[in-house]
């Protein structure tokens, strides 16, 4: 189940191989060392000597969207209501899909115009601004590329923060309940908890292991970690799904529409889960026959959308108002379901390195270029150490998993998935004489993304600053059967 996706790095000093790993995903699509081996715009008769089939691309796309974001969707459903949440996931999913198609079309246009085999997200935005009608956009085209790179870095480091919170949250629950964990999954009753150290100490305990993992710079090692992570999470997801479909209570007590004040938190979490747009172009470039990619993209995202709606709805129906920031924390205290948490902890621990790869391959070469060659290795490792500690500090300062998901989704994911692609379509095809309907449609999508960006960020920060939310895991001390 290992997937690695590579794109050209956004460095001016050179080209770096990046692994674009999507926010709800923990997987990678491995690219060949050279981009000349494949092109998203090659004529059908000039097929790539190597590449993935349409089915493989479909599998990569579906797996690439299924990760930690999926586990937070049931709580997101609580913040929106059953009906509103289901409809919103459906609409947002297909808007995100539409924006992916826009990005692909724009990249294909510039690949043909510039006779290049491949363009990454940042390069496509840069060329789109250069092709726009505004002299100001043309002048600041390079800044557009830098902005996309910045949002990608923020998104990936945000994922790393989410992972640290997730690791500490689940391990704390496992340790505190281990004395009462049994082999009988049908025994009802309260758990006997053994209080342990503060959740922030669990986060600190993980940091040495994370530092050692990010010191592995060989992509082959990362591929092995990706394989292990994906197998672990697939097994745990199967066990989780079969549990939540059992004994679903009467749903009539659950609201169809929740308060509008909590809806922005739903928006941020949903966007966090859907933000896989960065993997689209590398995936298309890797296909043998790219003519079928639009169909594969539509089919894959439809499967993802239906899976998200299914897990979010069933999870909320199963646990109601007691749903926690990660649905794994609602599982009963027996070894079968504790194994779900253990497997996910191991999977996320390995996936941290994969999510870390993009910001590392962007920031580390820049830092190394500023020092003499004899200090290159030390600077490389030191920069990685500082970056890991930074994610740890941010995770400690924002320990609520649901709010971290919402904040990362609102800040950077909304820009990458909803705001930038529609504006890119306008600038790219403006010279062709765009239909006014398309312009209005693109502007409305960008406004939707911008509103989600502003309101979602404000709501998440407001929740974080409220005194009734202590800097501990509220969901680490509550256990359900």
Which tens digits make up the pLDDT trace of 430-476? Answer: 888 888 899 999 999 999 888 878 887 777 777 777 754 443 333 33
Query: Residue 288: phi, psi to the nearest 5?
Result: -65, -45
Report the pLDDT value the prediction gives residue 257, as an integer from 0 to 100.
86
**What is the pLDDT, as a whole number, of residue 384?**
92
* pLDDT at position 68: 67
Cα–Cα distance for residue pair 13/60, rounded to 1 Å: 31
pTM attached to this predicted model: 0.73
User: For residues 102 and 85, what is the distance between their CA atoms, to the nearest angstrom?
Assistant: 25
Beta-bridge mates of residue 182: 334
Could you give the C-alpha distances from 63 to 178, 301, 422, 471, in angstroms and in order?
31, 10, 26, 33
Q: What is the CATH number of domain 6-41+51-476?
A: 1.20.1740
Which tokens sit at 66? 């299924």
- The alpha carbon of residue 247 and the mean position of all alpha carbons in its chain are separated, in whole angstroms, by 31
Contact assessment for residue 442 and residue 149, using Cβ atoms and an 8 Å cutoff? no
Question: CA 301, CA 106: separation in Å to the nearest integer?
Answer: 19
Residue pLDDT, tens place only, 305-335: 998 898 899 888 888 888 887 787 777 777 7
Q: Report yes or no: 395 and 161 within 8 Å, Cβ to Cβ.
A: yes
Tokens of 60: 């990569």
β-sheet bridge partners, residue 19: 6
Q: Tell which residue, 437, 388, 416, 349, has the closest CA to residue 152.
A: 416
Q: Strand, coil or helix: what is 49?
A: coil
Question: pLDDT for 36-64, tens place per residue?
Answer: 333 333 444 344 445 677 777 777 677 66
The token duo for 313 is: 């709805």
Give the position of tokens 């998993």: 401
Please write the tens of the pLDDT for every residue from 173-221: 888 877 666 666 665 544 556 677 788 888 998 999 999 888 877 656 6
Place of tokens 């298309």: 284
Q: How far is CA 284 from CA 29, 57, 169, 312, 469, in A?
A: 11, 8, 36, 29, 44
- pLDDT at 329 (0 to 100): 76
22, two tokens: 């999507």
Q: Break the chain into its structural domains and give their ranges.
A: 6-41+51-476
Q: Which strand (E) or helix (H) includes residue 316? A: helix 293-319
CA 412 – CA 300 distance, rounded (Å): 23
């Amino acid at each position: 189940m290992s997937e690695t996706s590579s794109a050209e790095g956004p460095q001016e000093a050179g080209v770096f191989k990046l692994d674009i790993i999507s926010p709800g995903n923990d997987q990678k699509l491995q690219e060949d060392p050279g981009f000349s081996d494949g092109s998203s715009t090659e004529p059908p008769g000039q097929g790539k000597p190597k590449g993935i089939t349409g089915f493989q691309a479909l599998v990569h796309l579906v797996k690439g969207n299924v990760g930690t974001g999926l586990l937070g969707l049931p709580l997101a459903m609580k913040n929106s209501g059953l009906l509103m949440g289901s409809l919103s996931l459906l609409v947002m999913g297909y808007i995100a899909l539409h924006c992916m198609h826009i990005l692909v079309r724009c990249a294909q246009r510039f690949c043909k115009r510039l006779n290049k085999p491949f363009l990454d997200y940042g390069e496509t935005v840069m060329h789109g601004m250069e092709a726009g009608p505004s002299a100001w956009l043309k002048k600041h085209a390079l800044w557009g590329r830098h902005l996309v790179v910045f949002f990608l870095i923020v998104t990936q480091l945000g994922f790393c923060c989410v992972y640290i919170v997730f690791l500490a949250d689940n391990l704390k629950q496992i340790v505190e309940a281990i004395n009462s964990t049994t082999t009988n999954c049908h025994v009802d009753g309260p758990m006997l908890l053994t209080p342990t150290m503060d959740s922030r100490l669990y986060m600190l305990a993980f940091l040495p292991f994370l530092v050692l993992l990010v010191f592995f710079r060989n992509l082959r090692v990362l591929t092995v970690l990706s394989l292990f992570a994906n197998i672990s999470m697939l097994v745990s997801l199967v066990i989780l799904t079969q549990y939540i479909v059992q004994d679903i209570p009467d749903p009539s007590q659950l609201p169809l529409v929740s308060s509008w004040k909590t809806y922005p938190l739903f928006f941020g979490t949903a966007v966090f889960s859907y933000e896989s747009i960065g993997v689209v172009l590398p995936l298309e470039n890797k296909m043998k026959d790219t003519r079928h990619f639009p169909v594969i993209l539509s089919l894959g995202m439809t499967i993802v959308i239906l899976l998200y709606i299914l897990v979010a709805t069933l999870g909320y129906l199963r646990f109601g108002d007691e749903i926690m920031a990660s649905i794994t924390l609602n599982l009963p205290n027996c070894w079968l379901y504790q194994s779900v948490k253990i497997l996910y902890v191991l999977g996320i621990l390995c996936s941290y390195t994969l999510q870390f790869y993009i910001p590392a391959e962007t920031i580390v070469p820049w830092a190394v270029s500023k020092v003499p060659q004899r200090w290159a290795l030390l600077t490389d490792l030191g920069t990685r150490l500082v970056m890991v500690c930074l994610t740890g500090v941010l995770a400690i300062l924002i320990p609520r998993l649901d709010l971290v998901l919402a904040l990362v989704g609102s800040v950077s994911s909304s820009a990458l998935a909803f705001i930038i692609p529609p504006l890119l379509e306008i600038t790219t095809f403006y010279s062709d004489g765009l239909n006014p309907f398309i312009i209005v449609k693109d502007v409305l999508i960008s406004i939707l993304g911008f509103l989600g960006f502003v309101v979602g960020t404000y709501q998440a920060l407001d929740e974080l600053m409220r005194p009734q939310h202590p800097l501990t895991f509220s969901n680490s001390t509550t256990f359900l059967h």
